[in-house]
Structure 1
Amino acid sequence: MSLSYLLAGAALLAVLLLFYRYLTADARQRRAALAAPFPEAWRTMLTENVAFYDGLGASEKARFEQAMQLFLARTRLTGVQTEVDDLTRVLTAAAAVIPVFGFPGWEYPTLHEVLIVPDAWQLETRPDQEVKQLEGTLLGSVQSFQNSQYMRLSRAALVQGFADAEDKHNVGVHEFAHLVDEADGQIDGIPGAGLPPALRRPWAEVMQRELAAIRAGHSDIDAYAGTNEAEFFAVVNEYFFERPEKLQEHHPELFDLLAQALHQHPEQTLTAHGSHLDPRQWLRQLRAKKKVLGRNSPCPCGSGKKYKDCHLGQAA
C-alpha cells in the first residue's frame, strides 16, 4: 500500500474521530459533571440559603445537586466587575433548577452564559429583552444574540432574593422563569413546556383576569407583573416558590394551573423517583425549624443576624 493511501486513511480516521468526539461531547460532559463529588461547602450553602432545597427529602436533594452540576457544566458564569464566588455560583444554579425541578433532565438549550454584575444597572431595552426592573433600574435580563441567549444578573439582588425566603421576590427565579416560558418558542406568558394543551385556554383566561386586577390595583401580586404577559408569568413564579400557601389562598385557580404547568402539584408524581413534589413543603420545613429556634439563635436564612432580628416575625 502506497504512502499516499496510508496518509489518506490516517486523515480520514482523524476526521471521523473528531466527528465522533463532537457528537458525544454532551454525553461526556454530563458523565464528567455527575462523576464529580458535590462539594460539601456547597451543600452547606444550599441548606443555609435555599429554603426550597432544604425542604426536599434526601433523594430529591441529591437530584437537585446533580441538576446544579449539569447546569454549571453547560453554562458559563462570568463576573463583570465582580467575583463569581462559590455562593454566587450556588445561588445562580439553584435559581436555574427551582423552576424546572418538576422536569427531570431539563436543559436550557439556548442559554450559554450568565453575566454577574455587582448591583442594579440602567440599560436601554429592546423588544427582544425580558427584564426585571426596580425603580428604573435593572436587576436581571435575558437577551438574545444570534441563535443563543445570555442572562445578566445583579449579584446583590440574587443574594437578597434567597436571603428572605418569603418576600415573594427572587430575581434569579424570575429570570429563569422567562426561559421556561420560552420553551414553546415564545416568551408570551403561556408556559409551553408543562402545561397540557387542554389547559392553555384556561391559563390564558385566568392570566388576563389576574392582569386586569393587578392593573386596577386590586391584587396582592407585585404590580410589575402588570407590565405584560411575560412579566406576569415570571412574577407569579416568584410568588409561587416563595409564598405558595398565600398564592393558593388568594389565587386558587392560578395556583392550581401553575402547579400543573411546573409539575409541582401535590397530586402529581414523578414516576422515575416515586415522590410527590409540593411547592409548600419547604415552607413547612422552615417553620418547623423556627419552632425549635430561640430568639437569640442565628437565623436559619444565613444572614448572620439573630433570629429575633431577622425572620422571627415572618413565620405567619
Structure 2
Amino acid sequence: MSLSYLLASAVLLALLLVFYRYLTADQRRRRAALATPFPVAWRTLLAEHVAFYDGLADADKTRFEQAMQLFLARTRLTGIQTEVDDLTRVLTAAAAVIPVFGFPGWEYPTLHEVLIVPDAWQLETRPDQEVRPLQGTLLGSVQRFQNDQYMRLSRAALVQGFTDAEDKHNVGVHEFAHLVDEADGQIDGIPGAGLPPALLRPWAEVMQRELAAIRAGHSDIDSYAGTNEAEFFAVVNEYFFERPEKLQENHPELFDLLSQALHQHPEQTLGASPGHLDPRQWLRQLRAKKKVLGRNSPCPCGSGKKYKDCHLASAA
C-alpha cells in the first residue's frame, strides 16, 4: 500500500469527521445544554421576576427552564457598556421563551446574538429594521446582517418590562414577537407559522379593524401598534401576555385568534399538564398571592419596596 494512498485516506477520514461533527453540532449543543443543571439562583430570579413562569405547573416550569437553556446555548448575549449579569441573562431568555412556549422545541434559527445596552439609545432607522421607539429613542430593535439577525435590547427597559406584570408593556416579549412573526418568511403582522391557514383571512380582517380603531383613538391597545401591521402584532403580544383577561374582555375575537396563533388556547393541551396553555393562569396565580399579602409585606414584583408603596394600588 503506497504512502500517497495512506495520506489520501487519512485526509478523507479527517474531512468526513469534520463534516460529521458539523452535521451533529446542533444535537451535541442541545444535549450539553440539557445535561447542565439549571442554576438554583436562576430559578429564584424567575420566581421573583417572571409572573408567567410562576403561574406554570411544576412540569411546565421544567420545560420552560430547558427552553431557556437551549436558547442561551445557541444565542450569544453581549454587553455593550454594561454587564450581562444573571438577571439580564434570565430575563432575556424568559422573554425569548414566553411567546413560543406553546411550540415545544422552537428555536430562533437566524438569531445568534443579543446586544445588551444600558438604556435607551438613538439610532437612524433603515428599511430592514424593526424598532420600538419611545420619545425619539429606541428600547429594542431586530436588525439583519447578511443572512443572520441580531437583536439590541435596553437592559433598563428589559428589567422594567418584568417589574410590572400587568402594565401591558414588555420590550423583551415585543422584540421576540417580531421574530415569531417572521417565521413565515416576513415580518408583516400575520403569524403564518402558528395560525391554521383557514384563519389567516379572519386574522387579517380583525387586524385591520383593530388598526383602524387604534389610529382613530378608539382603542385601549397602545397607540404604537398603529404604526404598521408588524408593530401591531408585537404590541398585542405584550398585551396578551401581560393582561390576557382584559384583552379577552375588550377584544374577544383578537384574543381567540392570537391564542390559536401562539398555541396558548385554553382548550389546547400540549405538554404534560392539560390546560397549562391557558394564558390567564399566571395572572390568577399572581392575584392569589396578592390576596395573602399584608400592606407591609415585600411587594411580589421584586422591587424591594413594601407592597403598600408599590403595587397595592394597581391591584385594587
Aligned to 1:17: 17
2:127 is equivalent to residue 140 of structure 1: no
* 3-state SS of paired residue (1:275): coil
Verify the 8 A CA contact 2:60 2:273 in the aligned structure 1: no
User: Which of structure 1's runs of 4+ aligned residues deviate more than 3 A?
Assistant: none
Verify the 8 A CA contact 2:168 2:243 in the aligned structure 1: yes
Aligned to 2:81: 81
Describe the superposition over 1:244-294 as per-residue Cα deviations: whole angstroms up to 9, x where unpaired: 000000000000000000000101111x42422111000000001011111
Aligned to 2:124: 124
2:5 is equivalent to residue 2 of structure 1: no
Describe the superposition over 1:124-149 as per-residue Cα deviations: whole angstroms up to 9, x where unpaired: 11111111111110000000111000
CA distance in 1, matches of 2:298, 2:202: 45
Aligned to 1:174: 174
CA distance in 1, matches of 2:259, 2:313: 28
Aligned to 1:236: 236
Verify the 8 A CA contact 2:59 2:273 in the aligned structure 1: no
2:209 is equivalent to residue 209 of structure 1: yes
CA distance in 2, matches of 1:162, 1:237: 14
Aligned to 1:282: 282
CA distance in 2, matches of 1:211, 1:142: 22
Describe the superposition over 1:58-83 as per-residue Cα deviations: whole angstroms up to 9, x where unpaired: 00000000000000000000000101
Amino acid at match of 1:224: Y
Aligned to 1:196: 196
Aligned to 1:266: 266
Describe the superposition over 1:36-92 as per-residue Cα deviations: whole angstroms up to 9, x where unpaired: 000000000000000000000000000000000000000000000101001000000
CA distance in 1, matches of 2:273, 2:313: 36
Amino acid at match of 1:19: F
Aligned to 2:164: 164
CA distance in 1, matches of 2:192, 2:182: 7
Amino acid at match of 1:292: V
2:181 is equivalent to residue 184 of structure 1: no
Describe the superposition over 1:23-46 as per-residue Cα deviations: whole angstroms up to 9, x where unpaired: 000000000000000000000000
CA distance in 2, matches of 1:274, 1:169: 28
Deviation at 1:315, TM superposition (A): 2.0
Q: Which runs of 5+ in 2 are unaligned?
A: none
* 3-state SS of paired residue (1:99): helix
Deviation at 1:6, TM superposition (A): 1.4
Verify the 8 A CA contact 2:110 2:148 in the aligned structure 1: yes
Deviation at 1:4, TM superposition (A): 1.8
Identity of aligned residues (%): 89
RMSD: 0.8
CA distance in 1, matches of 2:198, 2:127: 30
Aligned to 1:219: 219
* 3-state SS of paired residue (1:151): strand
Amino acid at match of 2:10: A
Aligned to 2:93: 93
Amino acid at match of 2:173: V
* Number of residues of Structure 1 aligned to a counterpart in Structure 2: 315
CA distance in 2, matches of 1:314, 1:280: 18
Q: Which runs of 5+ in 1 are unaligned?
A: none
Aligned to 1:246: 246
Verify the 8 A CA contact 2:120 2:138 in the aligned structure 1: yes
CA distance in 2, matches of 1:173, 1:99: 7
* 3-state SS of paired residue (1:56): coil
* 3-state SS of paired residue (2:254): helix
Describe the superposition over 1:229-248 as per-residue Cα deviations: whole angstroms up to 9, x where unpaired: 00000000000000000000
CA distance in 2, matches of 1:13, 1:218: 68
CA distance in 2, matches of 1:115, 1:255: 32
Amino acid at match of 1:148: D
Aligned to 1:314: 314
Amino acid at match of 1:289: K
* 3-state SS of paired residue (1:177): helix
* 3-state SS of paired residue (2:153): strand
